Structure 1
C-alpha cells in the first residue's frame, strides 16, 4: 500500500519499519524493509494522522501519537493489532515520544511547552508533567533521548538542551545549538544532536561536548541548510535535512560529508556523477523547476520553470546561455533532438514549442494539436518526428521542426523512436492494468536493446515489462513497493 506518511519508527532488530499515515482515517503500517511486505495494519484509533511512533526495547510494543485534538497516545501489541492502552496526550501538539530503554514500561513525550513522563501499568497509561522550576524557562521541546539513572535529555526550540532527573529539570546546556534542536540520537558512543542551525553536535555519555560539524561550511553545504534528523553509529553519522537530502558524515573526515540522496528541492539544479554518485554542481534558481534536459553533446542543460519560462545553462560552469519566456503556464517536459539541433518544450498551455539550438534557441516551430497540457514527449532517431501525450489521454505526432501534425499513420510506420517515455501508445498498451485511470501510470522508460520497459505509478509500484508490451491488462514484474 502507498500513502503519504508523517512518522516512522525502526524495530530494534532493524528489519521491520512502522510508518504512520496522514488522512481522515489514518492507520499504521508495519512492514518488512527487505521484502517490502506488510506485516501488520493498526487502525481505528487515530484521526487526521500519526504524529510519531516508537518501538519499545524488545520490539513487542509500539507507541503512537495521533494528530487529533487530544493528541491521543496509544500503546499497541502490533503483532496482534490490539490496543493495550490509550490516553489523551496533551492539549497542544506532541513532537516526539520515546520509550525509556532503561526503565520498563516508562515513556516520555514532549511538544509545545511541555514534557510528560508516562507509566504503563496493565491497560492504564498515566502521565506526570515535567517540572521546569527555576532551572530553565518553559520551552517548546522538540526531541528526546533517554539515558541511565532516570536521566532524560531534551532539545528545546531556543537551541538549549534540558537535562531531566525523573520529572524534574536539573540543568540546562545553554546554546547547544544556535536555534531549534530537531533531532537527538543516543548510541554506544554518546549522543548526537542536529538543529536548524545546520550543525551536528556530538556529546559523550555524560553529555559533555566532543565536537561540532557545521554542514553549511562543508563542500556540499549551503546557506539555510537545516538538520531534521541525525543518527550516529561508530565512525559514521547519517543526517537528514529539510530539503530531503541525506548526508553521510565520516567522523574522522567530517569536513567532507558525502551526499547520499537528494530529494525534491524545487529551486535547486543539481548535476551528479553517474560513476560515484557524487554531486558535481549545484545552482539555485529563482523560479521552481519542473523539468530538465541535457543536450546530446552534454554542453547545455535546459530547465523548465513553473512560470512558463525555460533557462539554458552551460554545464561546465552553470552560467546562463539564454532565458526565454514564451508561455504563462508551467513547462512540463523538455527534450533535445538526437542530432542536437532542436529543443522541444512542452507546456501546460497544450502546446510544444520548438527552438533551434545553433540559432541561440530561436523559436522555429510550434505543435498545437493537443487539447490539454503536455505530459510526455519522444523524438524519432532521425530527429524528423516528435510524439506527445497530453492530459486528455491523446497521443499525437508532428513533423519536426515545423510542428505540423501528422495525421496519416502510414507515414509513421517506419519511424524508429530514440527514446520511449510516453505512457500512451499501442506498443505499450500492456502496461495499463484493467480498470485503470489515464493518470495512474506516471512515468515510463524503455531500453530498446534489452527489450524491456519500466513504469512507475500512483500506487508506489515500479514494474518491469517486456518491450513492446501490446496486450492490455498484462501484468509486469513488480520491482519495488513503497508501503
Structure 2
C-alpha cells in the first residue's frame, strides 16, 4: 500500500486501499466521516513502550550462551534480546546483589540487535559481552554482525559487520592476551572463520573453515593465538601467526570418528576436551591434534556441553539422556563425597550423575554462580537452577508460537505453541502460573469473558475448552482438519466464533452448565480466516481472511451483512482485525498484505499496537485512520512477530514471536 494508492470517496464516505493489487473498500464510521481528511497526518501515540520482561531462552539450537556475571546476573539471549537476569534466592547471592547494586528478580536488556542472536561470548574481564546475530527478513536493516557491549552500562563498544554471511554462529575472545582478539565463525557455505582486533573493529584475517557445520570455536586459555573448532566430522586446531591461520585436523587414530563433535572445553592442564554424538569424550594433547585419553559411553546419546568448574572439575551434559556427569581434573568420576565437598552446600548428596526432568529437555549449556550454584540451559528453552533438585527459573516455549490471550479480569495471560504446551503467566509476578501439555500443536487461544475458561485451537482442527485455573480439560471439539487460526468469545452473550484455515467460521452457543453446542458455520470467505471481532452486544461480527477481505456477519441469522450503511457504525468490543477503517494507518507504505500479523486496541480506545514480519512492535494512536500516521516502533523480537494483546487494565502489552518463541512484556508509559 502506498499513499497515492489510497483514495477517499466523499460521496459514499468510503476509503479504498490496495493490498497486493487487490482493492479494499472500507466504510468510514459516521462520527469520523464528518471531518475526515485523507491528507492529514495521524498523530503520534501519547504513550510509549518499555521492555520490562522477556520470557524464554534460546537453547533449542544454540550453544555456549549462558554465563554468570560477577554481580550474580545471568546473561543469555532469546530472539534479538540479550537478557541480564538476576535471580537472587539465597543469602550469599543476596549479598552479592547488594554489593553490586543489582535488584533481585529483575531483568535488564541489551536491545541493539535487529534480528535473532545466535552466539554469545564473555570477555576475560567478565564485563564485556560479544553477541552475534543472523540476517533478518529485511536484509537492508538486519544484516549479520557482532556487537561488543558493556554488561554494566549496556553501552555498545564496537560493531563488527564486515563480510559475515547468513549468521554469526560462534564467538570467542582470546584469553592469554587479556581479550584483545575475537574469533568468529559465520554460517556461510564455507563457514568462514575470522580473527578481529575488536577494539578497532578491524578484521585481521579470515579463511574458509569447513563446508560442514561448525558448532564451536574457542581460543585456548593459555596458549597464545591458538584456536580450536569443532562440528560435523571435524575437530580443527588453528595457529594464528605471521598474518595467517594454519589448521591441523584432529586425528582420531584407532578411535571411532563420530558424526558430530558437539562441544569443547579446556582442562586446567591445557588439554582440549571434546564431546561427541556417540556420547564419548576425547582429551587432546595440549596444543596438538592427537588424542591422549578417550572415554566411551559417558552419555546415552550426544554430549552437548562440557563445563570446567572454578575448581577445575569437569561437568558434562547430555542431550538425549538429560544427565549431568561429574569428573575431576584427571577425568576420573567424582564420587558422592567429593561432589558434596566440591559444591560446599548443605544439601542432599548427589549421585555420580544428576537427571533433569524430561519435560525440560536435554543439557545445552552450563554456568556456575558465585556460590557454586549451577545453571543449566536446556534444549527446550528453559534454564534450571541446582545442584540437587534442578528447578526451573526460566521457562520458554520451544516451537512456533502464535497463540496469545489475556484474562479479561486479572494480570494473567495465556500462550500456546506448536510444542503442544499451554501456559498461563502472571504479568505482575512474571512467573508461570500453570502449564499443560496437549495432544496437539496449538495455534490460537481465547479467554471466556468471565475468565473461567480458556479455549485453545490446534493445527489439526481440534480445539479444547480448559479450566482457566488449573487447565483441566472440560471439553474438546473438532471442526475440519485444518488449523484453528483464531478464537473469539462474544463479550456480552454466550457465543463464540472459531475461525479455521479451511475458510469457515464456526459459531457455538454456550448453554447452562457451560455446555458448548455448534450453531452452524459462516461461509463466504475464499481464503483462511485470520482475525475476528465481535460487536459489544454480541449480535454481529467481522472477519479478515488471508486474501485481505473484510466481511461482516449477523450472528443470529448466520448470514453475511454486505451493507456498509448498517455496518459502518457498529460498536466493536475489540479491534483485532488488521483490515478495518480504524486501522488504515498501521499499514506501511509498501505493505504486501502479509506484513502485519496482528493488532490490538487498548481497552480505553486510546492506543492500537501492531506486530509485523520485520521483528517490530508498533504503537499508534487510536483510531489510526490516516494512511500516513505517526507511530513508535520497538525491536526485540526477530522476524515474524505473531501476536499482540493489551492486559485488561492497559498497563502492559504482551507480544509473542513465531520462530523466536519469545514472550515479551512491555510497560505502557
- Could you say which TM-score interval applies, normalised by the shorter chain? 0.7 to 0.9
- The answer to whether the aligner puts 1:397 opposite 2:520 as a matched pair is no
CA offsets 1:162-208 (integer angstroms, 9 cap, x no match): 22232232224544433211123445355553321223456666666
Please give the residue correspondences for 1:464-479 in structure 2 after superposition, counting only pairs within 5 Å.
464-479=619-634
Please give the residue correspondences for 1:4-403 in structure 2 after superposition, counting only pairs within 5 Å.
7-12=118-123, 13-21=127-135, 28-31=144-147, 40=159, 42-44=161-163, 46=165, 50-57=168-175, 58=178, 60-68=180-188, 70-77=190-197, 82-90=202-210, 92-133=212-253, 136-139=255-258, 140-166=260-286, 167=288, 168-186=290-308, 188=310, 190=312, 192-196=315-319, 197-201=321-325, 209=334, 210=339, 212-216=353-357, 221-222=358-359, 225-235=361-371, 236-243=373-380, 245-251=381-387, 254-264=389-399, 265-274=417-426, 275-316=428-469, 318-339=471-492, 341-358=494-511, 360-403=515-558
Is contact 2:184–2:195 with CA below 8 Å preserved after alignment?
Answer: yes
Distance in 2, matches of 1:399 and 1:152, equals 70
Distance in 2, matches of 1:202 and 1:161, equals 13
Q: CA deviation at 1:352?
A: 1.0
Is contact 1:398–1:406 with CA below 8 Å preserved after alignment?
Answer: yes
Distance in 1, matches of 2:598 and 2:485, equals 13
Partner residue in 2 for 1:438? 593
Structure 1 residues 453 and 203, CA gap change in structure 2 (3 angstroms): farther
Q: Secondary structure at the match of 2:521?
A: strand
Is contact 2:116–2:133 with CA below 8 Å preserved after alignment?
Answer: no
Q: CA deviation at 1:465?
A: 1.6
Q: CA deviation at 1:270?
A: 2.1
Distance in 1, matches of 2:489 and 2:376, equals 36
Give structure 1 stretches of 5+ with no counterpart: none
Structure with more contact order per residue of length (Cα contacts < 8 Å, sep ≥ 6): 2
Q: CA deviation at 1:94?
A: 2.5
Distance in 2, matches of 1:383 and 1:239, equals 48
Give structure 2 stretches of 5+ with no counterpart: 1-112, 340-349, 400-416, 639-669
Is contact 1:399–1:405 with CA below 8 Å preserved after alignment?
Answer: yes
Distance in 1, matches of 2:157 and 2:547, equals 35
Structure 1 residues 188 and 22, CA gap change in structure 2 (3 angstroms): farther
Alignment TM-score, normalising by the size of structure 2: 0.63
Distance in 2, matches of 1:199 and 1:164, equals 24
Q: CA deviation at 1:461?
A: 0.9
Distance in 2, matches of 1:35 and 1:357, equals 52
Distance in 2, matches of 1:29 and 1:363, equals 53
Distance in 2, matches of 1:272 and 1:427, equals 31
Which structure features the higher share of strand residues? 1
Bigger shift: residues 75-84 or 420-429:
75-84
Distance in 1, matches of 2:615 and 2:635, equals 8
Q: CA deviation at 1:109?
A: 0.8
Q: CA deviation at 1:288?
A: 2.0
Is contact 2:221–2:270 with CA below 8 Å preserved after alignment?
Answer: no
Distance in 2, matches of 1:357 and 1:295, equals 10
Structure 1 residues 371 and 91, CA gap change in structure 2 (3 angstroms): closer
Distance in 1, matches of 2:281 and 2:421, equals 36
Structure 1 residues 460 and 403, CA gap change in structure 2 (3 angstroms): same
Distance in 2, matches of 1:65 and 1:418, equals 51
CA RMSD of aligned residues (A): 3.3
Partner residue in 2 for 1:406? 561
CA offsets 1:316-336 (integer angstroms, 9 cap, x no match): 554443332232322111111
Distance in 1, matches of 2:520 and 2:236, equals 66
Alignment TM-score, normalising by the size of structure 1: 0.85
Distance in 1, matches of 2:192 and 2:329, equals 32
Is contact 1:141–1:157 with CA below 8 Å preserved after alignment?
Answer: yes
Bigger shift: residues 34-43 or 184-193:
34-43
Moved over 6 A (4+): 32-38
Structure 1 residues 320 and 260, CA gap change in structure 2 (3 angstroms): closer
Distance in 1, matches of 2:490 and 2:475, equals 18
CA offsets 1:279-299 (integer angstroms, 9 cap, x no match): 344333333221122222333
Structure 1 residues 439 and 27, CA gap change in structure 2 (3 angstroms): closer
Q: Secondary structure at the match of 2:585?
A: helix
Distance in 1, matches of 2:326 and 2:451, equals 42
